[in-house]
Structure 1
């Protein structure tokens, strides 16, 4: 660790041990700098550990800790970081952790007029302006990722982009990350909820009735349904109902469209007639609906739409172009239990809201990792899209927009055996301050519409053509403090699942 006194004179100063400069005309502070790989800047838990960084295909460029010398001055305070010597092949982001643990993501821009002495010998100078937030919580310090106790923590991360057009073709980069870290696989009853299961089974065998778990965006089966593996009574009941025919479907959710996911699932069904009950979380419910409602021609039509977006590589295009429902495979989806599924879409899927979405997930992962089914490496891998010159559309998110053309291909009326679990989350005085701030941000996006921080509450069970039976809706009110990612941790949810499945 090295230290530097920052004066509010607007003059850039080099941060010791880092190829970064800092300046401010509104802040007097003591600055601490930590070089990459410094043990003092990382936590052993869910933070930016070396493993997480490698999994995200990013590297840490350094950590800057800002201790405000005059916190009693309540005027707006900001600072500028300058990153010299960056080329078109350098991607950079700055993560800012405030005193409440809230995380924001800042995208550098080229500094067209860097001050004297700041010009790089080669490459451009990137500039990031960060307005510091005043901590709302009582007490000192922050729970910023990495275990540092301070008012403000800034982490600079970087990566190399491949090819001159890499900033404009973000989705293929996300697809490559998902292929490496979100492998396509079917999990059997033995590996279903194993967090680090290395492989699955090749095909789901035919049975009189099977139960299938399908996760949502960013996630995996082992993470999306936390609460179920720990409930021995629940496990026993579903084994009595389905025997060993209980499966999970792990798949890519960002750079892969819903229809493509269904095509991939069909390829993993053994020949014969399959009767499926499905428990799904979030986007997984759209896969279940498409599996039930869409025919082969419609699936291939949607696949071609994703191809036209330039998302799929040659191998995927060849597979999808020649794809057919496997010979002898027929599917009957008997009932679907929708956990927080955006059945009427969600505004968070709009490309313009991607940054808010990622910041909310990052904050939750920082403060409440045990209650979030999204890993930090998945968030960082997606955050790299924010440097794109034009915000790309990811098919997996685009299918969830309220005006998505996918919705027109799905039945507007729920089946009589379908069921829904939904929540209206309104942060309480007991909630962590940063989560209250995230909730306020989501309310700006959703307006007056009730929501669970990710999807509209009523859109889970109230479709354009009808509503679920009252006896098959479990709706958590704001007093329950249930949100999008902890639905299945509620014993009430699991009790209703058993009732609806039997």
Structure 2
């Protein structure tokens, strides 16, 4: 279909049957394409092939289909138009209308901007039927809104921020402009069934059922041969008892949305090989559901697999896995929680939210999913498709308004009940170490991801606080209410902004390998 010109006013412009845009303050053009990924689409997102391939596979696995692709080019409208916005404005919202497919179908939009940042967009809440506005009313709905199918529409509000010219980041040597044209966006219009034939209706318990099927509990081998995704040996209480009799063991505990292979797959093979030799082959990993259940439930399951006589453990954990590990190390033995079975000696926190992350608050969960989706697309490390599938599943549930079944995410809320209880608990005898990063969004894709208004360096979620795009930097090792924190500087590996290490790229860094081998000597 030929491109449709956009007029920069509050007028709704049809771009194809059932699809329309309203772009106050921005002119440009929009082209509506049918169907899923094509060769043309691939050419448009050249440079993200690996990440997009993984995302496409994750969408398919989550039963999400792309029904339309909108290729959109925007530029600020000339001053003096009906919107009152100046020609120099660089931010605003556009509104996309798509056909409402009825009560049995969920609908989402995924945008890819010209710098490569990905954002999920949920439908605007249904409102009572409203009268179409006059041309001078920028905030009023532009057409009646229907709650169901039969010719109604769903609306999506999408930030129309125009990206900086490529010269802004050229000196860094790390710029990545994917679409190659300032102010260009791809809008992927996605649909999915609201009832899964196996898991049932998307709702409060949907993620729990999904994790039961796709993220079952397991204590698995973690060898240089199988740690990146090859079939692994599933340990039993008997095999773990045999390992415990031979000496201390090393346990890897992954973070939210992830698995052991995805979370630690970027760790260099020589590093894991050296650790295996050091621990006499007694290295294993804990796979567990991380979104629908809290860390205490994870620990209760794990303790049931450990030998009654106990096992000496050193732990390397990532992200929310740090909270699982702290419950294991710090909780006094009690009925149903026999933590005496795990004698934790040393614990290495990799980007752990020991003081929480605001991204786990309900208002910011989509921002967390945006960041992780973009990180895995721009910088894929290890088997990312399985993590992306979990992210897509959670977006479906959030779009349906079912936040009560996300106890694993709620455990990371800074003011939440779980984290308050952990940080007020009993001090552990284990030695604690930490790896944290203060990431600076020098890459254009990540500039777009954390941009706020016209300040492309301002992270509106964390404010001025340093962070790795998911977890506050100092929250990994500084004061949080627990007597075990803050950690001494000699026990902390801190990446500076210029080093470009984000939440998902810690374990591929050579400095991390060096510290692991030093701390776990």
- The TM-score with structure 2 as length reference comes to 0.78
Q: How does 1:148-167 map to 2 (within 5 A)?
A: 151-162=184-195
| Equivalent pair of 2:13/2:22 in contact (CA under 8 Å) | yes
- Specify the alignment match of 2:263 in structure 1: 224
- Specify the alignment match of 2:365 in structure 1: 354
Matched, 1:422 2:421: no
- Specify the alignment match of 1:98 in structure 2: 113
Instruction: Identify if the C-alpha distance between structure 1 residues 27 and 491 changes in structure 2 by more than 3 Å, giving closer, same or farther.
Output: closer
Cα shift readout 1:240-259 (whole Å, capped 9, x = no counterpart): 32112100111111111101
Choose from 248, 259, 273 the match for 1:209: 248
2:67 and 2:321 mapped to 1: Cα distance?
36
Cα shift readout 1:52-76 (whole Å, capped 9, x = no counterpart): 2122231212111123488886556
Matched, 1:175 2:175: no
- Specify the alignment match of 2:68 in structure 1: 62
Instruction: Identify if the C-alpha distance between structure 1 residues 138 and 253 changes in structure 2 by more than 3 Å, giving closer, same or farther.
Output: same
Q: How far 1:186 moved relative to its partner?
A: 1.8
Q: How far 1:181 moved relative to its partner?
A: 3.0
Matched, 1:493 2:512: yes
Cα shift readout 1:225-245 (whole Å, capped 9, x = no counterpart): 2442x241x234312321121
- Specify the alignment match of 1:480 in structure 2: 499
Instruction: Identify if the C-alpha distance between structure 1 residues 142 and 32 changes in structure 2 by more than 3 Å, giving closer, same or farther.
Output: farther
- Specify the alignment match of 1:32 in structure 2: 31
Helix, strand or coil for the counterpart of 2:371?
helix
Helix, strand or coil for the counterpart of 1:34?
strand
Matched, 1:400 2:412: yes
Instruction: Identify if the C-alpha distance between structure 1 residues 238 and 219 changes in structure 2 by more than 3 Å, giving closer, same or farther.
Output: same
- Specify the alignment match of 1:184 in structure 2: 217
Worse-superposed segment, 274-283 or 286-295:
286-295
Q: How far 1:401 moved relative to its partner?
A: 1.5
Q: How does 1:303-314 map to 2 (within 5 A)?
A: none
Choose from 268, 279, 292 the match for 2:316: 279
1:409 and 1:31 mapped to 2: Cα distance?
51
Equivalences, count: 464
Q: How does 1:192-207 map to 2 (within 5 A)?
A: 192-195=226-229, 197=231, 200-203=234-237, 205-206=240-241, 207=244
Instruction: Identify if the C-alpha distance between structure 1 residues 196 and 37 changes in structure 2 by more than 3 Å, giving closer, same or farther.
Output: farther
Unaligned runs of 5+ in 1: 301-323
1:116 and 1:459 mapped to 2: Cα distance?
46
Q: How far 1:154 moved relative to its partner?
A: 0.4
Q: How far 1:167 moved relative to its partner?
A: 13
| Equivalent pair of 2:265/2:381 in contact (CA under 8 Å) | no
2:368 and 2:143 mapped to 1: Cα distance?
38
Matched, 1:292 2:329: yes
Choose from 139, 158, 161 the match for 1:130: 158
Choose from 57, 62, 74 the match for 1:51: 57
- The TM-score with structure 1 as length reference comes to 0.81
Q: How far 1:399 moved relative to its partner?
A: 1.0
Cα shift readout 1:383-435 (whole Å, capped 9, x = no counterpart): 123323475462111111222333324546464522111222223xxx21121
Worse-superposed segment, 490-499 or 187-196:
187-196
Cα shift readout 1:167-205 (whole Å, capped 9, x = no counterpart): 997441222332333232222134651325376333451
Q: How far 1:44 moved relative to its partner?
A: 5.0
Unaligned runs of 5+ in 2: 43-47, 79-86, 133-141, 168-174, 453-457
Q: How far 1:78 moved relative to its partner?
A: 5.4
Instruction: Identify if the C-alpha distance between structure 1 residues 117 and 390 changes in structure 2 by more than 3 Å, giving closer, same or farther.
Output: closer
Cα shift readout 1:262-320 (whole Å, capped 9, x = no counterpart): 1121233244321111111111111111112225658x6xxxxxxxxxxxxxxxxxxxx
Q: How far 1:372 moved relative to its partner?
A: 9.7
Cα shift readout 1:440-483 (whole Å, capped 9, x = no counterpart): 56843223333222222222222422433443222222333222
Helix, strand or coil for the counterpart of 2:50?
coil
| Equivalent pair of 1:371/1:485 in contact (CA under 8 Å) | no
Choose from 471, 492, 495 the match for 1:455: 471
1:449 and 1:25 mapped to 2: Cα distance?
33
